[in-house]
Amino acid sequence: MGILIESLGILIICLLIFMLFFLYNKSIHEKQHAKWRLIAGRLIRKAVFHDNEDSPDAAIPLTARAESLMHNRHFRQLMTEELMSTKKSLAGMASENLKHLYQQLQFDKYALANLKSPQWYVKAKAIQELTTMELKDVLPKLYRYTNDKNELVRMEAQSATVQFYGFEGLRFLNVITYPISEWQQIKLLQQLSQAAPMDVSIDAWLKSENSSVVVFALKLARSYQWFQWHDTILSCLEHPEPTVRLQAIDCLGEIYTDKTAAILKSKFWEEELEIQLAIIKALQSVGTEEDVSFLVSLLNYDNNEMKIRAARALTHISKNGLQMLEASASTAGHPLTEIIAQIKGELTV
């Protein structure tokens, strides 16, 4: 027992020594990083207010201490993060000055070297860094990563091409074989909303073997009302992937002709429930009096969601839609009575 207590005491002492050493080492690092942030902050402020109108290529002055720290990998990492963070909140000459400082310090060379790293997160961070610093001349090097096997690397590279070139940057859609995630599609659409609108040819994308490219092209057509692609969008109703057909129907609810409703109805009975519901919703926008009888017939089916959507579409496309619903309810009863009350509530909002 005595030996056990003695061993336990030695273990506790060793643990205390380790904790003291760890805390001391941590304190040293924190003080060092605080000094580094102070040096980086001063250099960034100097760059932001640097007047280089007379000589745009003139170097931003560095202190001897700052210059010596540029050989330290950890300081470069901290300095790069501070530069990126500051640049995101600035524009105009101040933003250009930070870009100038970044290149003056040759940080772009380190980032380009990191593109060859076998570690995906290093590559992704390098792409994000070069994009934030707006180095358009490196885009050819970034473009090859738009179809990288790692999703996050692909996302950063794809976002870079769109940020630099707007709609023209979407050319990676011609070559990518990996899927574009739903989140990435949202991000790209948001980036494009900041770019100057322009018509682009989406014919090849609508016929792509990559179904996510087709879905994204359909979202583009819908967002920017590209009616010239109506017929090609119609062909997507034959796509083997349900997600593509669903997106095509959603798109046709915005981009349609006087023949669209009839084509959608012809597809109705061969589709699964989710797509049938999407067709009914689209008819709410594209339907006419000619589609009333079709919608009335759907009120007899057991699925309540189908009844609700059919009822809603009826009130939108026919001036007598509400009366038709009430006439059907007099014989059908529940749940159509409750559905009519819900529709009336929507119409009064």
Q: What are 100's two structure tokens?
A: 């100038």
Number of domains in the chain: 1
35 found inside a domain:
no
Are the beta carbons of 169 and 161 closer than 8 angstroms?
Answer: yes
- Average pLDDT for consecutive 10-residue bins of the chain (349 residues)? 65 67 58 81 86 70 84 88 90 89 92 94 95 92 94 96 94 96 96 89 96 97 94 96 97 94 95 95 93 88 86 85 72 69 69
Look up residue 172 and give its DSSP letter. Answer: G
252 found inside a domain:
no
Q: How far is CA 302 from the centre of its chain?
A: 38
Q: Measured between alpha carbons, how far is 188 from 213 in angstroms, rounded to an integer? A: 12
Closest CA to 93 of 155, 49, 40, 144: 49
Residues counted in the chain: 349
326 found inside a domain:
no
Residue 22: count of CB within 10 angstroms of its CB: 10
pLDDT tens profile 254-276: 999 999 999 999 999 999 999 99
Closest CA to 214 of 167, 255, 251, 267: 251
pLDDT tens profile 170-195: 999 999 999 999 999 999 999 999 98
- Over its C-alpha atoms, the chain yields an Rg (Å, rounded) of 31
328 found inside a domain:
no
How far does the chain reach from its first CA to its final CA, in angstroms?
81
Query: pLDDT value at position 9?
Result: 65
Are the beta carbons of 139 and 154 closer than 8 angstroms?
Answer: no
User: Domain range spanning residue 98?
Assistant: 73-165
Query: pLDDT value at position 228?
Result: 94
pTM, entire model: 0.83
Cis peptide leading into residue 140 (ω within 30°) = no
CA atoms within 13 A on the CB side of 20: 6
Closest CA to 208 of 223, 220, 197: 220
Q: Measured between alpha carbons, how far is 168 from 198 in angstroms, rounded to an integer? A: 9
Q: Is 23 helix (H, G, I), strand (E, B) or coil?
A: helix
Residues 6+ apart with CB under 8 A from 194: none
Instruction: Give the DSSP H or E segment for 182.
Output: helix 182-192
316 found inside a domain:
no
41 found inside a domain:
no
Burial class of residue 309 in the structure, from the number of CB atoms within 10 Å of its CB (0-12 exposed, 13-18 middle, 19+ buried)? buried
143 found inside a domain:
yes
Query: pLDDT value at position 168?
Result: 93
Are the beta carbons of 98 and 47 closer than 8 angstroms?
Answer: yes
137 found inside a domain:
yes
